[in-house]
Structure 1
Amino acid sequence: MTTHAPRPHLEDALSPRRVLSSEAVYKGKIWDVRSDTFELSPGSEPLRREFIEHPGAVAILPMDEDGRVLLLRQYRHPVGMLLWEVPAGILDVDGESNLDAAARELAEEADLAAGEWNVLVDFFNSPGSSSEAIRIYLARRLSVIPHHERHERTAEESEIEFAWVSLDEAAEAVLDGRLHNPSAVVAILAAREASRRDFQGLRPGDEPWPAHPAQR
């Protein structure tokens, strides 16, 4: 006879593990490298881990009235590729809320404003090596920002290309291995799942983000 373990509650939880020491071993323009010493259990041998301390980011999946989503392509030097992505940016403005940061990035990268915002999904980009937390929003009821109010894009952003595609087409590109940007992959697949319930039950755009390491 097969026995089954009790079904767990599927929710990540904060850990009570004690940090014994913490120091920044590298200070960068956007993120630092931190070295922490901690113990897994009281009295256990201390462990040391180095990781990237990141301010976090927001990403936006813009969706028009026909259910198409906006993807943008730009060059990413570390991987040497032109990647199809979604509008996104780092949380690097003091006092700016997560939602306001998302609205700013949508305007700067896509020349769009949105009248309806929902939290689509939250995730850690690489929790074994970085504290980067990313919140992805679904932005709808879109309007185009007038030319005289648009942000001037520079460097890699000056080469951004745009494409409106169906959600199904975008999802197939993910599953075929043609898209690689993590925010785009997560956003597209989460939106496709949410579309099965007509986007009902999504969190409001101003939902708190207690899992973000810097917002606890």
Structure 2
Amino acid sequence: MHNDPKPWKTLESIYLHRRPWLTMRQDRVQLANGNTIDDFYVWEYPPWLNIIALTPDEQIILIRQYRHGIGKVLFELPAGVHDRAGESLLQGAQRELLEETGYGGGQWHEWMQLSPNPALQNNISYTFLALGVEKISSQRLDATEEITIHPVSPGEAREIIENGEMLQALHVAPIMKYLLSR
């Protein structure tokens, strides 16, 4: 791939905003051809975690919650942010599933990695596949979370996606990969 584009050289970075859920920096970059971009903006986020959780009878654990950005209540995968020091990605995913749904246990492995928006964001979204999870506790929601739990069959999950009731692309892609692999 001799003619592939080359990485840009960062000449300067200035942080414009630093908050736990919104960190933005302005980079001055130089392209391989020598041209510069004085104001390229990058949003920094920690890794995101998604879980495809299946019960022993192959029910997929979905959740529903309101998403203010688009003003809708939608189906999603259990998910969260990897933001605890000393916690592995797997441990974070297991914690998020337990907190949001009360499900745990099972056999876990990383299913896929996606970049939410590689042009503007620096993070990766990690999806884990958890087989054989069971209800082991009640939900442990944050004060700002209102989440309902919905075990569905693979066929119902496909219908939810086809009917536009799950719109989060970072959830649709890994669950469709799972449904197509069956």
Give the TM interval when normalised to the shorter protein: 0.7 to 0.9
The structure 2 residue matched to 1:110, chosen from 92, 101, 109, is 101
- How do residues 31-42 of structure 1 correspond to structure 2 at under 5 angstroms? 31-41=22-32
Q: Please give the residue correspondences for 1:25-104 in structure 2 after superposition, counting only pairs within 5 Å.
A: 25-41=16-32, 44-47=34-37, 48-104=39-95
The reply to whether residue 167 of structure 1 matches residue 137 of structure 2 is no
Q: Is the CA contact 2:75–2:165 (under 8 Å) kept in the aligned structure 1?
A: no
Matching residue of 1:206: none
Aligned 8 A contact 1:120 1:190 in 2: no
| Separation in 1, partners of 2:31, 2:89 | 32
The structure in which a higher percent of residues are strand is 2
Within a 5 Å distance, the mapping from 1:127-206 to structure 2 comes to 127-147=118-138, 151=140, 153-157=141-145, 159-195=146-182
CA RMSD of aligned residues (A): 2.2
5+ long unaligned stretches in structure 2: none
Helix, strand or coil at the partner of 1:122: strand
Q: 1:22 aligned to 2:17?
A: no
Distance, in Å, in 2 between the alignment partners of 1:143 and 1:179 is: 23
How far apart are 1:72 and its partner, in Å? 0.5
Residues 120 and 28 (structure 1), Cα distance of their counterparts in 2 relative to 1, 3 Å cut: same
Normalization by structure 1: what TM-score?
0.75
Residues 120-168 of structure 1, C-alpha deviation per residue, up to 9 Å, x if partnerless? Answer: 1110112222223100011112132245xx62x24442x3111111112
Counterparts of 1:84 and 1:177, CA distance in 2: 9
Summarize the Cα distance change of 1:192–1:88 in structure 2 as closer, same or farther, 3 Å threshold.
Answer: same
Contiguous gaps of at least 5 residues in structure 1: 1-7, 196-216
Distance 1:81 1:32 in 2: 25
User: SS of the counterpart of 1:78?
Assistant: coil
**Aligned residues: percent identity?**
29
Q: Matched residue pairs, number?
A: 179
Amino acid of the residue matched to residue 130 of structure 1?
A: Q
Distance (whole Å) between structure 2 residues aligned to residue 118 and residue 59 of structure 1: 12
SS of 1:127 mapped into structure 2:
coil
TM-score (norm 2): 0.88
Offset of residue 102 of structure 1: 0.5
Distance change (3 Å), C-alpha of 1:143 and 1:67: closer
Report the 3-state secondary structure (helix = DSSP H, G, I; strand = E; otherwise coil) of the residue aligned with 1:129.
Answer: coil
- Mapped to 1, the partners of 2:147 and 2:99 lie a distance apart of 11
Q: What's 1:200 paired with?
A: none
The answer (yes or no) to whether the contact 2:47–2:125 under 8 Å persists in 1 is: yes
1:68 deviation in Å?
A: 1.8
Deviations 1:76-104 (A, max 9, x none): 11211111111111111012110010011
